[in-house]
């Protein structure tokens, strides 16, 4: 074994192992074996993680430091910036916290390395959605870039995605959700039942959609089909003709003044809805909760055509090795062990290891967030504030009801470059 030295920690792999062995021996004598946390505490490791703001959260970094002794340096970006950074600045990060449609773009470039599932302690706890593509054996796999289609490679050095689960996982799934339209029920003035409702002339100048092309195009596809304008062969992999028809429709709607804004960040969507400038828009579940926490009526509206879904995970930079690679695996195993999953569930997302997360939630919390039951007591946000009052029921119902009605996933199409160019024309129009 070569005695490689870690540049960031100034320690060698061999000295780490020696020190670690001594630490374990000392801990054994004291009756306080804590494993990796003891090693990382004596030989500090910093892991640089970047990704979207939905899961690059300070609370997770603080808890990781307390539990493992590993320091996380987190950088939050929007999705498009994350995709670009992953490929163009591969030495600037150790952990990529990205969505699966981004992985489809990034992984083939060779900037990430796969994970050996034999080293993943909670692999068998990962929901089957990420392994087989099906929530239940009877589920229909939704259109778009479903996570399982880019979740595995055939071998450690492979750059193409495997068609079946293998020993090598491109990313470990962590977070996902079923997205729909957010509405101000006090301002829309009527029932909202379909994606087509966002184009109602009554909402002219008061509607907004998401300005991230791989996500926004899927919202547009749901709207187009709901209006009867088109029936896509596969809305997750449009032809150039289908892209043109979709974008031309959006451009006309924009020129007619239907849209108030095109948002990219969580905070933008919250501010648009809370101010009343927008009454119906593409939205993320925690953003709806953030509006409600201000005492403003806001609903995450289930629609008859179903949900647009997304999922994200943690990927390892190709340059990681030695002590840092060991720490990264320990961090990922910790991530799926339950505490983080419960934290994400309480924000309205879903944990990729639900059984583990359940151990860190009260019966009432699990009933409200996952089973779709009325809350027995007040439901608290992760920051300790009251998010929902006793008796509240989660919009859309249970985990199975919501994720079981996914119509499509955020997507990277074969004609992705053409789609992005046309999307940018729409935004600039």
User: Are residues 228 and 326 located together in one domain of the fold?
Assistant: no
Specify if 357 maps to a domain. Answer: no
3-state secondary structure (DSSP) of residue 172: strand
d(CA 331, CA 325): 10
pLDDT in tens, 330-381: 999 999 999 999 999 998 999 999 999 999 999 999 999 999 999 999 999 8
* Residue 288 clears pLDDT 80, i.e. is over it: yes
C-alpha count within 13 angstroms, C-beta hemisphere, residue 411 = 24
pLDDT of residue 37: 62
Specify if 42 maps to a domain. Answer: yes
pLDDT of residue 378: 96
Specify if 31 maps to a domain. Answer: no
* Closest C-alpha among 81, 327, 121, 97 to residue 213: 81
d(CA 80, CA 99): 11
* Residue 11 clears pLDDT 60, i.e. is over it: no
Cα–Cα separations (whole angstroms), residue 115 to 229, 314, 402 = 43, 10, 29
User: Are residues 122 and 147 located together in one domain of the fold?
Assistant: yes
Report residue 186's pLDDT band, with 50, 70 and 90 as the boundaries.
very high
Specify if 84 maps to a domain. Answer: yes
User: Are residues 420 and 300 located together in one domain of the fold?
Assistant: yes
- CATH number for 249: 3.40.190.10
User: Are residues 286 and 318 located together in one domain of the fold?
Assistant: no
* Closest C-alpha among 328, 319, 385, 346 to residue 64: 328
pLDDT in tens, 206-233: 999 999 999 999 999 999 999 999 999 9
Q: Is 95 exposed, middle or buried (0-12, 13-18, 19+ CB in 10 A)?
A: buried
User: Are residues 121 and 214 located together in one domain of the fold?
Assistant: no
User: Are residues 144 and 184 located together in one domain of the fold?
Assistant: no
Specify if 5 maps to a domain. Answer: no
Specify if 392 maps to a domain. Answer: no
How many structural domains compose the chain? 2
* Residue 1 clears pLDDT 60, i.e. is over it: no
Look-up: residue for tokens 């290891």?
Answer: 353
pLDDT in tens, 272-283: 999 999 999 999
User: Are residues 149 and 194 located together in one domain of the fold?
Assistant: no
User: Are residues 184 and 139 located together in one domain of the fold?
Assistant: no
Neighbouring-strand partners of residue 75: 50
User: Are residues 320 and 272 located together in one domain of the fold?
Assistant: no
User: Are residues 75 and 142 located together in one domain of the fold?
Assistant: yes
Average pLDDT over residues 37-45: 72
User: Are residues 212 and 244 located together in one domain of the fold?
Assistant: yes
Cα–Cα separations (whole angstroms), residue 386 to 123, 259, 288, 289, 295 = 34, 33, 14, 11, 11
Dihedral angle, C-alpha 345, 348, 350, 354, nearest 10 °: 30
* Closest C-alpha among 148, 141, 165 to residue 103: 148
Specify if 368 maps to a domain. Answer: no
C-alpha count within 13 angstroms, C-beta hemisphere, residue 166 = 20
Q: Is 317 exposed, middle or buried (0-12, 13-18, 19+ CB in 10 A)?
A: buried
Specify if 373 maps to a domain. Answer: no
User: Are residues 213 and 67 located together in one domain of the fold?
Assistant: no
Range of the domain at 418: 178-306+405-428
């Amino acid at each position: 074994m070569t005695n490689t030295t870690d540049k960031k920690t100034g320690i060698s792999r061999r000295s780490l192992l020696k020190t670690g062995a001594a630490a374990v021996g000392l801990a054994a004598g004291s009756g306080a074996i804590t494993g990796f946390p003891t090693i990382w505490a004596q030989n500090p490791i910093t892991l640089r993680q970047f990704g979207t703001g939905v899961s690059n959260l300070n609370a997770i970094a603080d808890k990781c430091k307390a539990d493992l002794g590993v320091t996380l340096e987190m950088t939050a970006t929007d999705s498009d910036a994350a995709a670009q950074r992953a490929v163009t600045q591969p030495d600037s990060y150790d952990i990529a916290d990205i969505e699966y449609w981004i992985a489809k773009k990034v992984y083939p470039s060779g900037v990430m390395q796969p994970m050996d599932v034999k080293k993943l302690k909670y692999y068998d706890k990962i929901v089957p959605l990420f392994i087989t593509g099906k929530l239940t054996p009877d589920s229909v796999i939704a259109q778009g870039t479903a996570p399982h289609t880019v979740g595995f490679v055939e071998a450690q050095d492979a750059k193409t995605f495997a068609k079946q689960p293998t020993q090598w996982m491109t990313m470990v799934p962590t977070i996902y959700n079923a997205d729909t339209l957010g509405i101000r029920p006090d301002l829309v003035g009527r029932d909202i039942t379909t994606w087509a409702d966002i184009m109602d002339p009554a909402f002219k100048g008061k509607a907004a959609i998401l300005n991230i092309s791989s996500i926004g195009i899927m919202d547009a596809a749901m709207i187009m089909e709901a209006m009867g304008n088109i029936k896509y062969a596969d809305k997750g992999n449009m032809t150039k003709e289908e892209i043109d028809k979709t974008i031309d429709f959006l451009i006309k709607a924009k020129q007619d003044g239907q849209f108030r804004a095109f948002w990219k960040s969580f905070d933008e969507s919250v501010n648009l809805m809370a101010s009343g400038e927008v009454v119906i828009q593409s939205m993320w579940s925690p953003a709806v909760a953030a509006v409600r926490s201000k005492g403003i009526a806001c609903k995450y509206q289930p629609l008859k055509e179903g949900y647009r879904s997304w999922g994200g995970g943690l990927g390892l930079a190709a340059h990681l090795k030695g002590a840092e690679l060991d720490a990264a695996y320990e961090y990922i195993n910790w991530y799926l062990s339950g505490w983080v999953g419960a934290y994400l569930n309480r924000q309205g997302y879903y944990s990729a290891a639900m059984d583990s997360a359940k151990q860190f939630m009260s019966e009432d919390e699990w009933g409200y967030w996952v089973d779709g039951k009325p809350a027995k007591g007040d439901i608290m946000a992760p920051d300790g504030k009251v998010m929902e009052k006793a008796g509240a029921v989660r919009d859309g119902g249970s985990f199975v009801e919501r994720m079981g009605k996914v119509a499509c996933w955020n997507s990277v199409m074969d004609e992705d470059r053409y789609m992005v160019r046309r999307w940018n024309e729409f935004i600039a129009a």
